[in-house]
Structure 1
């Protein structure tokens, strides 16, 4: 009753485990950004449909999959290769879609991030995501930290999705977030965050993702952001309670924030020089 969509690029390490975790579905689609490793071979060996498309942006890639693939079922469960639905989540999703109201077109779930063998219960900043949607009623917005917008009501699931962002090592995480920080710096330098900065939305919006967008936009405007983020994660989110994994993760996130600050300044200097020289 549920089709599965897995987004990939060079995921020969994580894809086998991901495919095994969704073996309960007979309609699994691997949508690949032209991998150069054994990703396609592994997908075929597990009986998954395999489609490739040149990557041109996170939201565009995901929307191309949602809109272009021949899904067998009305409901689509969306995954990255380093994520694993728990057996309880698989059962709950199938039970929900079997008797869902026509007004509900999506479901939100809690994702558990793991680092150093530890669930980052306190350190994880954004644990809630919409991942189960009705076909044709959802679309990704924004190219960095993309958000899935659903046309209709969104329900909540109680079972969890497990995520292993460090499965390929800290080096891979840093390389990926080096790319993300460049994209975020461009957003800040373009001034888009100022238009989205709203205390009212940040504090009182009913939609979690709307609150997160406004909070991040306000955060972009604060001085000493890396230090503030570290203090927030350590003492407000209580990353300390996650032990050494929580402390390390808070520090990595603060370094990532510092990348954004430095790259934003660099972009602004380059643009100022360009204006003076023209």
Structure 2
């Protein structure tokens, strides 16, 4: 009824948590980027097929799985190895796939960010949406910053209610910072493109939460003191202080990440010294 694609690179430990959450699926494809641990062995023991392809981008990996993975079902869910499908999300997707009469081609999925054993209800920007579920013949991605976006206009994008659980810190804080050092340059390059585009102020009050979030990010890229603003947004405006110590730590990390992005933008000669 539903195929599942999981992106991996040295993810054997995370797979041991991810794969049981999709044990109800009879068509799992692990899209691996050349793991040197036992990722492939763990996947195959769980009944998944493993495809190995050198990593070019998240969109490239996901699209390759869609087009060359021999997916068996009309609907597909995309996961990262550090994500877990909750029971409510499974039931919601199965119902859509069973009826197979949805007016939407793809669906965005909310994500609960987990840190220090707890859900970052506030600082984690819940619900932070990404399009991850859709019709196998229509679900495709384009590169955007360090990640990817769907190709469909918002009118063809539905919204699921139940979340994924995202264990983004499962390999420790050093791993998070190492990844975000790499992501920062890609985000800086994306910000260059964003600054060259125009967007109406009306988008800031759009009814669609994903449209609003993208508009806020578009205009925030033009503001001074961005690292401080990002910290204050997560910790104060989003009530991250209610998440306790984990909320404070994550808000600080977001500010540092924004500083990484701005340093890369400055190096590329695209940001003012403010």
Cα gap change, 1:197 to 1:233, in 2 (>3 Å): farther
What is the CA–CA distance in structure 2 between the aligned matches of 1:258 and 1:65, rounded to whole Å?
34
- Give 2:14's aligned residue: 14
Task: For residue 62 of structure 1, report the CA deviation from its aligned partner.
Answer: 1.6
Note closer, same or farther for the CA distance 1:101–1:254 as it changes in structure 2 (3 Å cut): same
Q: Does 1:234 align with 2:239?
A: no
Q: Give the equivalent residue in structure 1 for 2:204.
A: 203
Give the alignment's Cα RMSD to 1 decimal.
1.9
Residues 48-87 of structure 1: pairs in structure 2 closer than 5 A: 48-87=48-87
Distance 1:71 1:45 in 2: 19
1:147 aligns with 2:149: yes
Provide Cα deviations, 1:189-235, integer angstroms capped at 9, x if missing partner: xx311133524364144554443333222211111000111111111
SS in 2 for 1:146: strand
Contact 1:57-1:143 at 8 Å conserved across structures? no
TM-score (norm 1): 0.90
User: 1:159 corresponds to which residue?
Assistant: 162
Q: Aligned pairs, how many?
A: 267
Of the structure 1 ranges 198-207 and 254-263, higher mean CA displacement relative to structure 2 is found in: 198-207
Deviates more, 1:175-184 or 1:207-216: 207-216
Q: Which residue of 2 aligns with 1:275?
A: none
Consecutive unaligned residues in structure 2, runs of 5 or more? none
Structure 1 unaligned spans of 5+: 270-278
Q: 2:189 aligns with which of 186, 190, 204?
A: 186
State the shift of 1:97 in Å: 1.5
Asked whether the equivalents of residues 144 and 190 of structure 2 are also in contact (C-alpha less than 8 Å), the reply is no
Which residue of structure 2 aligns with residue 273 of structure 1?
A: none
Q: Distance in 2 between matches of 1:250 and 1:94?
A: 35
Conserved? CA contact 1:197–1:215, under 8 Å:
no
User: SS state of the match for residue 14, structure 1?
Assistant: helix
The structure with the largest alpha-carbon Rg is 1
| TM-score, length-scaled by structure 2 | 0.91
Structure 1 CA distance for aligned equivalents of residues 200 and 232 of structure 2: 21
> 1:41 offset after TM fit, Å?
1.1
CA distance in structure 2 between the aligned counterparts of 1:212 and 1:149, rounded to whole angstroms = 17
Equivalent positions of 1:248-267 (< 5 A) are 248-267=249-268
Distance 1:37 1:260, change over 3 A: same
Please tell me whether the aligned partners of residues 84 and 162 of structure 1 are also in contact (alpha carbons under 8 angstroms): yes
CA–CA distance in structure 1, aligned partners of residues 218 and 104 of structure 2: 29
Contact (CA 8 Å) 1:58, 1:143: kept in 2 or not?
no
Mapped to 1, the partners of 2:129 and 2:144 lie a distance apart of: 19
* Residue 91 of structure 1: aligned partner: 91
Structure 2 match to 1:3: 3
1:219 aligned partner = 220
| C-alpha distance in structure 2 between counterparts of 1:54 and 1:209, whole Å | 31
Counterparts of 1:215 and 1:59 in 2: how far apart (Å)? 23
